Amino acid sequence: MPEQPRGDLQQVGASRATRTVLTELKDTGQIADLVDGYRLCIAAAYAYGCTPNLTRPEATRTTMFAANTLDTPDLALRTAIAETYPDARLMPYRAAEDLAEQGAEIVRNLMDGEKLRFSDLIQKVDEISRVAAGAV
């Protein structure tokens, strides 16, 4: 029997490792709430040029937020993902979930103990942007 196409998510989740990163950021006052951290992880993955893996199994993730809680009222996140990653246009929240996982790894690697080195993140994103623009 052929594999059925996967639909988009109504709720996004996170692995235990990603939850740990988000909880540390919140507990140390670096983010206001977990959804802000989740968005930060998506933004980090996006800035680092990550591509969402839409086939990764969901079993390793537990639910964190409804998709409408993660996104803005004008659906800016969904729109940005659909435009940036054409293969994900029918599954933008599935893509967001995977980008959050990849971004959490980036954020974890930029942490000094429990503190995120935001200046290092900004510097790295700036370097990536310059390379992408051909300014280096």
Give tens-digit pLDDT for 82-116: 999 999 999 999 999 999 999 999 999 998 888 88
Spatial CB neighbours of 123, under 8 Å, sequence gap ≥ 6: none
Round to whole Å and give the CA distance between 94 and 133: 28
> What average pLDDT does the segment 52-67 reach?
84
Residue 7 pLDDT level (bands cut at 50, 70, 90)? confident
pLDDT of residue 114: 80
Residue 2 pLDDT level (bands cut at 50, 70, 90)? very low
User: Do residues 67 and 11 make contact, with C-beta atoms less than 8 angstroms apart?
Assistant: yes
Q: Tokens for 131, please give them.
A: 């390379």
pLDDT surpassing 70 at residue 1: no
On whether the pTM is more than 0.85, the answer is yes
